[in-house]
């Protein structure tokens, strides 16, 4: 299963990680339907067939194109390191109201920029060295205190 990937060589782990990112983007932008439970047990990697399987659709949902257009704009802005674009698309999505304090605005944009880092370069992203989770975790208290609308 996918939680045993640490037993495989780096090339295999890189390939599976790339496939997971591709799957996520295809679910959203091609299928407009996504499995929204990111539990690793919902994915299976068959090393012999070099295939990744999605197993559980119990938490799957559809998305409207209007939402996906603005969601794409957020991802694209983050990938292009465009802080104003992240904020503008976040406003259109209703992720923020526009009345947030500067500290909340910065925390929101910073968190999106962190999540967008894997898409910001043509090079292979080093998730292990990145420590993305810790960076986001450091912003959570600010967002919990200053957020005006639910995430």
84 labelled catalytic: no
Please answer whether residues 86 and 126 qualify as being in contact, where contact means their C-beta atoms are separated by less than 8 angstroms: no
Q: Which residue of the set 30, 37, 56, 88 is catalytic?
A: 37
How many beta carbons lie within 10 A of that of residue 89, not counting itself?
Answer: 22
Q: Which two tokens stand for residue 147?
A: 């957020």
Question: What contacts 109, CB < 8 A, 6 or more positions away?
Answer: 83, 86, 87, 90
User: Catalytic residue numbers?
Assistant: 37
């Amino acid at each position: 299963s996918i939680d045993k990937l640490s037993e495989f060589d780096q090339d295999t782990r890189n390939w599976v990680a790339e496939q997971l990112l591709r799957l996520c983007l295809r679910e959203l932008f091609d299928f407009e339907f996504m499995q929204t439970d990111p539990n690793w047990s919902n994915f299976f990697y068959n090393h012999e067939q070099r295939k990744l399987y999605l197993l559980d659709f119990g938490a799957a949902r559809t998305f409207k194109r209007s939402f996906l257009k603005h969601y794409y704009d957020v991802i694209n802005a983050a990938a292009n390191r465009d802080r104003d674009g992240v904020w503008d698309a976040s406003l259109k999505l209703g992720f923020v109201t526009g009345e947030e304090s500067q500290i909340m605005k910065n925390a929101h944009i910073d968190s999106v920029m962190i999540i967008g880092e894997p898409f910001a370069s043509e090079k292979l992203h080093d998730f292990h060295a990145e420590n993305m989770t810790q960076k986001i975790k450091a912003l959570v208290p600010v967002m919990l205190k200053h957020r005006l609308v639910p995430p």
